[in-house]
Structure 1
Amino acid sequence: MSHLMTMTMDMLNIKHPIEYVSGVWKFERTPRKGIKVRSTPDHLLHLVVSGSYLLKNNNRIYEIKPGSVIYYYATEDVEWLESKETVVFYSVAFKSEFIRPLPLESRVFKAVRSTVSAFEKLYGYSICQDEYVKTMGIYSSLLAILMDIQKYTSVPDSDKQKDKVADIWNSVEQKIRTEKKFRVQLNELCEMSHRSRATLIRICRKSTGESPMRRIRSIKMAEANGLLHFSTLNITQISEYLGYPRIHEFSREFKKHFGFPPTRIMNKRLG
């Protein structure tokens, strides 16, 4: 007489952490000084293969060398202060709401051997002619890079409280982006975070180095810059998307922030 054994299985409902990969590149930059640029929207990673330079980002100055990994998030101001030699680096841009932005103090770090290998494979797959191999290879290599980064940028126990502070502000920024609340006021930010004005201001300054409203303005302008460069929206549509009642208000604030009107980017994009 046979007996039937019933096994219960826990079903997993795991979504892919990467929504899409915007691009994978290998750049070569000749010696330069005082060059100001802006990073791409969402997450951006660089691995320097050869050459060195001074980098200014988030009010910090870094000496970048071969093997340095640089992380950017959500269109940041970047300045190459000086490079006396040609710099070669890999770059990958991707969108993920699952992956938490790295804290400001962990944006530049030394790659381990497996990370360097994963970047090399990532670029190799990006120029592969077989679309299936290309897609699977890019995602698997990127996930390997992110797993490495998680290991050697993990937060020590002594910094857990500091990390919780960053989490609070990061959750506010995430809500602003997902709900498109780019014209939010300070009292609304307090409601989002369930914190008092004084507490929220302190948390934001510790996490970003800026006041809440200044940070929101930076986020809004970064979003505008990204949309102008990488979307198919026109200036009127971008203005409406960001919550401006009139297009000239958007144009005025954009020019005040960047030093030039949004039409300059739009005209260049349209050729």
Structure 2
Amino acid sequence: MTRPFILSASVAEPAFAVPGHARAVLQAAEAAGFDLLMLGRSGERPFDAQVLVAWAAPMTSTLGVVATVPASKAHPFHVARALSAVDFLAAGRTGWSVVPEGAPEGMAEDMVGAARALWDGWGSDTLILDKTSGRYLDASKVKASNYKGAFFKVAGPVNAMRPPLGHPLLVVDGDDPIAIDDADIALVSDGTAAPQATKRLIKVGADADAAMLAERFEAREIDGAHFTLSDALTQLPQIGARLASLLAPRPAGDLRARLGLPIPSTASNQPGGAVIPEIA
């Protein structure tokens, strides 16, 4: 697969909580060729991103939607259950970014570990859906996680099956990092240490030079760019037009397939996401 230039942005405008405005922003992001739209960011969360990502998922067809999740105000069981459901609504186009602000040291990392353990409680081929026998799933492939961390303890299994992505994409912001060494995507600023991640997106302003980004991408210094939006409806089309030459056609499939992101090595059972017999 041709290495994709990943185009990402974050929106934290209070108006995104208004359905009409949010719908227009989602449509603009897809039309501009963005791969990811992060709802909220560290220090700017004027809406409940987990609620809005569930609303946004079925309104998109190619755009990946990423919810910011504050570690100090969420529980991994509810987060894992909600994001699994959203990943089905989005057909494998869901991500999350755990925000450590206001949380004790280590809580964000503990939340990631607990949620991953809950997702891994379901095997990828757990579902049977056999109408003749009346069997819905293979119960032997649903296992309690019994996760015990410094802040969270979850027995599981979570009452939502394994997400299509296996694990939703984990996005880490280098300006407010968490100590995870296998994130899928890191958002990095020049001159700062970059968190460990499979892909690195440079954080740039809306007027970033396309030639500079292309040069750094070809040199493999970066895997794409992340834009912090202040006026999404105006900036999204402008950015998409300016960077159109960098955006090669994407293969069909979920975000991991399209962006070249393997499931994290911490997945404790079968690789990949849920297999649905009726559509396999």
- The TM-score bracket by the shorter chain reads under 0.3
Bigger fraction of residues in helix = 1
Instruction: Considering Cα pairs closer than 8 Å and 6+ residues apart, tell me whether 1 or 2 has the greater RCO.
Output: 2
